[in-house]
Amino acid sequence: MENKSVAMRRVLSFATITAIGFALGRVSGVAREMVVSAQFGLSAELDAYFIAFLVPTLINNIVAGSAIHAAAMPTLARYLAANDRAEFWRVASSVTNFLLLVTSALTILAILLGNAIIAIIGAGLAPATQTLAAQMLVIMMPTLILGALLNMLMAILNALDRFTAPALIFIALNLGIIATVFLLTPLIGVYAVAWGFLIGVALQVVIQLIELRGERPQYKFILDWRHPALKEIGGAFIPITALAIIAQINLVIDRAMAATLPPGSVSALAYADTILGSFYALGISLGIAVFPSLSRMVAQNDLENMARTIFVSLRLLIFILAPLTFLLIPFAPHAIGLLLGRGRFDAAAVELTSAALAMYAIGLTGIAALYIVQRAFYALGASRVPLIVGTVAAFMHIGLNFALMRGMAHAGIALSTALTATVSAIFLLIVLARKMRALDVRALLIFFARASLLALVCAFATSRAFALLNLGDTSVTAWVFGIIFAIGGGGLYFVIALFARVPESAMLAHAVSGFFKRK
């Protein structure tokens, strides 16, 4: 059985690789949003893109997204733990081939029914905008096939403890979109964004294939329906997919409800969610890094070490995201203005998007923690539990949408998402603790309260100090100084935690110093 400290160091090492890749990906994502927003602002044509974008991503998330990764990982990790690479590749090949067949059929079907699909999910859009969305749907649908291959390749690489190429997926996607928008927008307008998405996904696949070559893959063109591993993966896949369907239905409902609001509301939510993703990507990176290790710990019946790994991961997550949550709320206009406030992205667009970002930020820790806790259940083979909680949460989310958007418009939809994710994460954590007595939820909640209190004090002091400058929040000068003060607030939080000897502060300081020493 792997030594506990060694296992934790491995997880943190993998998480660091993934987090750095995701961080760079998010930086490139911000650059992508800057380029796209400067070209199209919050416009009806960009609303058409986001509505069309929903279709391939929605189907991919249901059929071959994180669901297949979550369902296949425990099985693949078990074969590798038993050093049975022949069966590992046989199972991986069968699952990959099945996904390619299914997504190819769905791609053709979606293209044929494109107009009808757009008419349903974009019912609030003008007819011309619906037509534009249907045309872009045809361009982007092949990403469904590429996305299926991408997700399976990442599952294989992660099971093999290879995290570099999967960590680069966002960089590849964003560079593809940025380059295409720069080169083709003068020629084909908003269609350049759709073509950029297709090219970006293709680049993602190529990067995975390059890294996989180092593992000497033994791919076979087979479909071994009778293999017990496929039945096992299928059994886990059904509830995980059902949860993914619920999540995508929630997203469609959010966009559909936002489409009934003033123009630009859909894009404002999309921009805010993308920027928030720069921060909750930490939870995703930790979840990706820890998942193979959790799966191996379950195979070894090492639940104590599993509980410890989850506990340490969540404490680190809370420590980092608490200040970001409370600083994003007052400084959201400055962040949005500095990142996107140019070209057709005017003051009204900044106001709309920052309102959504501030509300999304309330659930930042909950959204990130939910990803990790769900993977703990998947590793345990208890995928029905997140499904049950997710189903209840979906009804809660819809109810909150109706209640909150009446007075808060699109910001109410963002707040509904934040509250639902936080409640779901806490409830799942409590249920998980019943399966693993070594997981101290009370200690986690106390730490969350203390970190939040410190972050709140630092954010309040920083925002009040900034207000003394009387710069407002609509000029470039105000945006720049706002971000400087926000960074200062984060620095204040970290310094206080360091002097208070919070373990996570020393852990981060050591990680940063170690990174620069390696340089």
Residue among 219, 224, 233, 231 nearest 74 (CA) = 233
pLDDT tens for 330-376 read 998 888 988 888 777 888 888 999 999 999 999 999 999 999 999 99
Contact by Cβ (8 Å): 78, 299:
yes
CB atoms within 10 A of CB 73: 24
Alpha helices in 362-475 (DSSP H): 364-379, 384-408, 410-435, 441-467
The CA distances from residue 361 to 221, 323, 371, 512, in Å, are 46, 11, 16, 25
CA atoms of 203 and 515, how far apart (whole Å) = 28
**What's the number of CA atoms in the CB half-sphere (13 Å) around residue 131?**
3
Which residue has 């279709």 as its token pair? 55
The domain segmentation of the chain, as residue ranges, is 44-238, 264-514
Tell me what pLDDT residue 432 has: 94
Tell me what pLDDT residue 392 has: 95
pLDDT tens for 147-189 read 999 989 998 998 888 888 988 998 999 999 999 999 998 898 8
Residue among 331, 327, 323, 344 nearest 190 (CA) = 344
Residues whose CB is less than 8 angstroms from the CB of residue 310 and which lie 6 or more positions away in sequence, other chains included: 290, 294, 372, 373, 376, 432, 436, 439
Residues whose CB is less than 8 angstroms from the CB of residue 274 and which lie 6 or more positions away in sequence, other chains included: 29, 33
Contact by Cβ (8 Å): 271, 360:
no
Range with the lowest mean pLDDT among 198-207, 439-448, 465-474?
465-474
pLDDT above 70 as % of the chain: 95
Among positive and negative, which fits the CA dihedral 181, 187, 192, 198? Answer: negative
Which tokens hold the place of 383?
A: 């995928």
Specify the higher pLDDT residue, 300 or 199: 199
Residues whose CB is less than 8 angstroms from the CB of residue 241 and which lie 6 or more positions away in sequence, other chains included: 62, 63, 67, 71
One-letter amino acid identity for 174?
N
Residues whose CB is less than 8 angstroms from the CB of residue 502 and which lie 6 or more positions away in sequence, other chains included: 319
> With left for phi above 0 and alpha for psi between -120 and 50, is residue 263 left, alpha or beta?
beta
DSSP class per residue in 151-171: HHHHHHHHHTT--HHHHTHHH
